[in-house]
Amino acid sequence: MYLPQEIIKLKRNGGKLPEAAIQQFVTGLTDNSFSEGQTAALAMAIYLNGMATEETVALTRAMRDSGAVLNWQGKLNGPVVDKHSTGGVGDKVSLMLAPMIAACGGYVPMIAGRGLGHTGGTVDKLETIPGYSCTQPLATIQREVARLGCVIVGQSGELAPADRRLYLIRDVTATVESIPLITASILSKKLAAGLDVLTMDVKIGSGAIMKNIDDASALAQSIVNTAKGAGVPTQALLTDMNECLGSTAGNVLEVLETLDYLTGKYREPRLHQVTLELGASMLQLAGLFADKASAVAALEHSLTSGKAAEIFAKMVAAMGGPADLLEKPQLYLGKAPVVQDIVAPHAGYLAASDTTAVGMAVVRLGGGRAHPAQVIDPVVGFSDVQALGSKVAAGDVLARVHAASVEAAAKASAEYLAALSFSDNAVSLQPIVHKVID
């Protein structure tokens, strides 16, 4: 039996935590025998000194086993598959991809998270839909996944409860970027969902947790190795987050973009490509399609046929939301009191974006959290975001800010402009997919 301070001291001094110490820490997360201060201290020690692979595996398994683990054996007619993103600005891919995969024969029990640091959270987005409950009994999750093919929910008290507490503390203690903690957080939830295969979307760039190819590769390899050790085949795609993904950043705005995407009203090209790349990986890993071309064709058909949109609508209704959200989104999704254009100060090409700064501007508007208990303003953020490489004239609209007041809009507009760099000449853009790790 270890005292909490002994565990903290061992890791602070660069030591390797025994499995029993890791198990005690995870138990302390669930029964509160580790205080918030002690949890923050150990998280910082892990951030500074890292963990060996076996420590990360032990932490992942302990957090998985801190609650229930779903068993799908004999209950479904296809593979159980999921994807997870390390987070970025404007990343709403999970919302469209879950029903698309379901339309293609996969089953997706997606356990999603809330916003973390400057990145948005899938749960926060879904909770802007009136009535949609991300907290569901396991029996409901299992029933609706079998019926619809997908469900997107948050971490309930039953699934990986230890991670839920640690996740919130990491958000406000500058320990988000720790590779072992990210790995264990992601995989504890995914392993608790009883997956057959997993595709990881590891973001890289100015709006990602991992800013460069080396750090992103290290995280992706950590996740692939840890998942493999737990018996879940996993592929990681390193995708670009050097600019906002899609044309919106902010919870309601991203839900509206999702609806436009699923119904075919508008599909921003980079967002569409990322969605297809990740979806094809999922379908191939699951053995549903033998090659990328056929997987992409199936995903495209799920959209053009309307089947993915239909599944999304049914999922929203099953989780307590309105049955006619796709037909009448403006009836249910709020609107910011102030909407203002952000205009180009001069002519040129959009050359680069400090996308983390854009995400933090959304947080300061009220669209994210500065502390775990903070209530989010769902309607604030940015829309009509122009992509990097765009040629603009002075006075052209670069984006629109949605804010609670004129003062907040002015401040966010200044922050948005400060995050952009312009060039007199056309610029070369980063690839959508930087690297694939099997």
CATH of the structural domain 4-50, one choice from 1.20.59.10, 3.40.50.1390, 1.20.970.10, 3.40.1280.10: 1.20.970.10
Phi, then psi, of 255 in degrees rounded to 5:
-65, -45
Q: What is the pLDDT along the chain (438 residues), one digit of tens a residue?
A: 899 999 999 999 999 999 999 999 999 999 999 999 999 999 999 999 999 989 999 999 999 999 999 999 999 999 999 999 988 999 999 999 999 999 999 999 998 888 867 888 999 999 999 999 999 999 999 999 999 999 999 877 788 899 989 988 997 899 988 999 989 998 998 899 999 999 999 999 999 988 999 999 999 999 999 998 888 999 999 999 999 999 999 999 999 999 999 999 999 999 999 999 999 999 999 999 999 999 999 999 999 999 999 999 999 999 999 999 999 999 999 999 999 999 999 999 999 999 999 999 999 999 998 776 788 999 999 999 999 999 999 999 999 999 999 999 999 999 999 999 999 999 999 999 999 998
Decide: 127 and 134 in contact? Cβ < 8 Å: yes
Class of the 81-329 domain?
Answer: alpha beta
The pLDDT of residue 210 is: 87
- Which residues form the catalytic set? 82-85, 122, 170, 185, 189-190
Q: Where are the domains of the chain?
A: 4-50, 81-329, 335-423
Taking the CB of residue 406, how many other CB atoms lie within 10 A of it? 11
> b/e for 161-196, b at 16 or more Cβ within 10 A?
bbbbbbbbbbbbbebbbbbbbbbbbbbbbbbbbbbb
pLDDT at 120: 81
What pLDDT does 123 receive?
94
CB 51 within 8 A of CB 175: no
How far is 436 from 438, CA to CA, in rounded Å? 7
Signed CA dihedral, 238, 241, 244, 249: sign only: positive
Q: What is the residue whose two structure tokens read 């989010």?
A: 376
| Model confidence pLDDT, tens digit, residues 311-322 | 999 999 999 999
Could you tell me the two tokens for 107? 């089953």
Q: Where are the alpha helices (DSSP H) in 50-129?
A: 53-64, 93-103, 122-126
> How do beta strands 338-343 and 81-85 pair?
unpaired
Interatomic CA distance for residues 328 and 88, integer angstroms: 28
174 CA to centre of own chain: 18
Q: CB atoms < 10 A from the CB of 393, how many? A: 10
Q: What is the DSSP letter of 249?
A: B
Helix (H) or strand (E) holding 49: helix 36-49
Tell me the CATH class for 335-423.
alpha beta
- Reported residue count of the chain is 438
pLDDT, position 239: 98
> Could you tell me if residue 16 is left (phi over 0), alpha (psi between -120 and 50 degrees) or otherwise beta?
beta
Segment 138-162, tens digit of pLDDT:
999 999 999 999 999 987 778 889 9
H-helix segments, 135-208: 138-148, 161-171, 179-192
Please report the pLDDT score of residue 115 as a whole number: 80
Query: What is the structure's pLDDT at 86?
Result: 87
Positive or negative, the CA dihedral 295, 298, 300, 302 is: negative
**Closest to 63 in 3D by CA, of 205, 241, 190:** 190
| Secondary structure in 3-state letters for 213-243 | HHHHHHHHHHHHHHHHHCCCCEEEEEEECCC
Indicate left, alpha or beta for 393 from its phi (over 0: left) and psi (-120 to 50: alpha). beta
85 within 8 A of 241, measured Cβ to Cβ: no
DSSP 428: P
DSSP for residue 28: H
